[in-house]
Amino acid sequence: MTTPVDELASALRDAAVLKSVDALLDWDQETYMPTGGAELRAEQLQLLSGIVHERTTSPRIGELIEEASSSAQSAGDERLIADLREAKRDYEKATKLPKELVEEMARCRALGMTAWRDARKNDDFDAFLPWLEKTVELNRKKAECYGVPAGGEHYDALMDDFEPGMTAARTEEIFAPLRAFTVELLAKVQDSGVTVDRSIATAPMAIEKQREFSKRVCEAIGFDFDAGRMDDTSHPFCSGFGPGDTRITNRYREDAWLDALSSATHEAGHGLYEQGLPKGEFFGRPLGEATSLGIHESQSRMWENQVGRSRDFWEWGIGLAREVFGDALAGATPDAVHKAANIIEPSYIRVESDELTYNLHIMLRFDLERAMIRGDLACTDLPGVWNERMKSDFGLTVERASQGCLQDIHWSMGAMGYFPTYTFGTLYSAQLWEAMGAAIPGRADQVRAGD
């Protein structure tokens, strides 16, 4: 006899399978899809998102959650109780959104990402502006459907999708002391008079060799290429489609092999988290999903920074780097590469920024997207305000939109409220790394040995 839990698990798995198809179409758009396919892809995603929404908001899902919750409470099954609590939260949020809005956001995402990619390539903000305005408008509607928390703002409702329970006000409380600390430390670095030889970081390396090196490092840290793959894209990302299929992407420049490595370890960190989730048993259920984007980012930031930028890592990594790149790194030492990987210098591009100034990039984006959602910043004014903040926060003069407000893909894909999770993840990773150091004696020796 089928129980409510079994029926619910089956329904949620069916919805998850459909969502994985949606995610696969997104992945294809960012990797192999010809540009001429944008209109059809938008139509595909619009139709599919509506079908998924109908499945996940079916009244029967709500009934099954209530029935299963009663039996779980009676049995005292704490894990199932937690699973059903989160399933109910997801269901209640989904039922607040009209199908038409969900479909329109999917269409805007598909066409907006294509427009963003072309606009970034051509340094043409005006070409992307209509899609940014549409994205802001749709996100405001989404926040209104969710409901603005008492004493809060629209942005809170959007943040809750990525970091449950987080608010803009709480984010400000977290960011303020971090900003003060960062600015003070950055000033000390800049006033120190210390310079680092960056020639290793900019030594020209063939793209194909960079792909090989990135893949072999990802394999070494545990990413399973029998259950995943790595491809090229304009903005690195990770997609966890479901059991046995997690894909990561990367981008390369001949004079930036260390940046490519950082992106690779970052996305592999996401991939390891996805591959470590119990999807085989709980695919489609909260127990088989990430608990928050901040925790997800903690894994990517940990592998990128605490591991990939560490002296211990380069004790092992230098041998592999010499093997792959040959004479180009013949005279390189672990110390030299370690220093080059940790140069502190303000830069235009977030994903290529150093560990210290990275969070200033996130704070900039948090402030500006929050202002756009509030209506305090018109989308047409974004480049000017962005450029002013880059000058005041980083001392940099933005000359091209691609090194300014067009560099990130997130707004084109409708992900407003996401950016703060990068800093939350950075903070979580530091705490996890410290606890891990106490729990695992000899961790440094293991890293140096390539374990």
Residue found by looking up tokens 């040959």 in the block: 326
CA pair distance 42, 32, nearest whole angstrom = 15
Residue found by looking up tokens 């002296």 in the block: 311
Strand 245-250, strand 238-242: pairing: antiparallel
Helices (H), 123-206: 125-146, 154-162, 168-191, 199-202
CA pair distance 277, 149, nearest whole angstrom = 31
Please report how many Cα atoms fall inside a 13 Å half-sphere around the Cα of residue 258, on the Cβ side. 25
Burial class of residue 214 (count of CB atoms within 10 Å of its CB; 0-12, 13-18, 19+): buried
Q: Which residues contact 266 (CB under 8 A, 6 or more apart)?
A: 236, 300, 301, 303, 304, 351
Radius of gyration of the chain (CA): 23
User: Hey, what amino acid is at 259?
Assistant: D
CA pair distance 92, 147, nearest whole angstrom = 12
297 belongs to the catalytic site: no
* Structure tokens that stand for 241 in this block: 């489609």
Catalytic residue among 30, 267, 289, 297: 267
Of 100, 78, 86, nearest to 12 (Cα)? 86
342 torsion bin: left (phi>0), alpha (psi -120 to 50), beta (else): alpha
Positions marked active-site: 267
